[in-house]
Amino acid sequence: MKYSKIDFNKKTILITGGAGFIGSNLAFYFQKNYPKSSIVIFDIFRSDAIFSNGNLKSFGHYKNLVGFKGDVICGNINSKDDLSLLNDYKFDFIFHNAAISDTRVYDQELIIRTNVNSFYDLLELSKRNNSQMIYASSAAVYGSLPSPQIVGTEGPENPYGFSKYMMDQIAFNFSKNNPSLSIIGLRYFNVYGHGEYFKSKTSSLVIQLGHQILDGKAPTLFEGSDKIFRDFIYIEDVVQSNIKACDFNINGIFNVGNGISRSFQDIANILQKEMGTNLGTNYISNPYNGYQLDTKADISATSEQLMFKPNFSLEEGICDYLPEIKKLHNQDTL
Ligand SMILES: NC(=O)c1ccc[n+]([C@@H]2O[C@H](COP(=O)([O-])OP(=O)(O)OC[C@H]3O[C@@H](n4cnc5c(N)ncnc54)[C@H](O)[C@@H]3O)[C@@H](O)[C@H]2O)c1
* 98 Cβ below 6 A of ligand 1: yes
* Mean pLDDT value of segment 56-63: 95
Q: So what's the pLDDT on residue 290? A: 73
User: Sorting pLDDT into bands at 50, 70 and 90, what band is 333?
Assistant: confident
Asked, as a colleague might, if the bond just before 148 is cis with ω within 30 of 0, I would say: yes
Q: How far is the CA of 288 from the centre of ligand 1 (A)?
A: 23
Shortest-distance atom of ligand 1 to CA 22: 16
* 23 Cβ below 6 A of ligand 1: yes
Residues 6+ apart with CB under 8 A from 155: 141, 142, 143, 144, 145
Candidates 205, 120, 204, 100; CA nearest to 162 is 100
Which residue's alpha carbon is nearest to atom 30 within ligand 1?
Answer: 76
* 94 Cβ below 6 A of ligand 1: no
- Tens-place pLDDT, residues 160-170: 999 999 999 99
Q: So what's the pLDDT on residue 146? A: 95
Which residue's alpha carbon is nearest to atom 2 within ligand 1?
Answer: 191
Residues in the chain: 334
Q: Best mutation site among 22, 86, 168, 187 for ligand 1, i.e. most ligand atoms within 8 A of its Cβ?
A: 22
Q: So what's the pLDDT on residue 292? A: 84
Residues 6+ apart with CB under 8 A from 181: 126, 127, 130, 132, 133, 174, 175, 251
Say yes or no to pLDDT of 41 above 80.
yes
Mean pLDDT is lowest, of 188-197, 234-243, 269-278, 284-293, for 284-293
Say yes or no to pLDDT of 289 above 80.
no
Distance (Å, whole) CA 193 – CA 320: 9
Say yes or no to pLDDT of 266 above 80.
yes
Q: How far is the CA of 276 from the centre of ligand 1 (A)?
A: 33
- Is residue 95 within 8 Å of residue 26, measured between CB atoms? yes
How many degrees, rounded to 5, is the angle at CA 55 between CA 168 and CA 332? Answer: 120
User: Sorting pLDDT into bands at 50, 70 and 90, what band is 332?
Assistant: confident
Q: So what's the pLDDT on residue 288? A: 85
Q: So what's the pLDDT on residue 249? A: 94
Which residue's alpha carbon is nearest to atom 9 within ligand 1?
Answer: 136
Kindly list the distances between the CA atom of residue 298 and the CA atoms of 34, 149, 201, 265, in Å, as whole numbers in the listed order.
31, 6, 28, 22
Distance (Å, whole) CA 329 – CA 220: 17
- Tens-place pLDDT, residues 105-162: 999 999 999 999 999 999 999 999 999 999 999 999 999 999 999 999 999 999 999 9
Q: Best mutation site among 68, 97, 138, 254 for ligand 1, i.e. most ligand atoms within 8 A of its Cβ?
A: 97
- Is residue 164 within 8 Å of residue 156, measured between CB atoms? yes
Say yes or no to pLDDT of 74 above 90.
yes
Report the mean per-residue pLDDT for the chain.
96
- Is residue 243 within 8 Å of residue 29, measured between CB atoms? yes
* Mean pLDDT value of segment 31-49: 97
Shortest-distance atom of ligand 1 to CA 101: 43
Distance (Å, whole) CA 207 – CA 45: 22
> What residues does 220 pair with on adjacent strands?
282
DSSP three-state, residue 108 = helix
Say yes or no to pLDDT of 58 above 80.
yes
> What residues does 81 pair with on adjacent strands?
none
* 195 Cβ below 6 A of ligand 1: no
Q: How far is the CA of 311 from the centre of ligand 1 (A)?
A: 23
Distance (Å, whole) CA 282 – CA 267: 14
Residues 6+ apart with CB under 8 A from 53: 102, 104, 105, 106
User: Sorting pLDDT into bands at 50, 70 and 90, what band is 325?
Assistant: very high
* 185 Cβ below 6 A of ligand 1: no
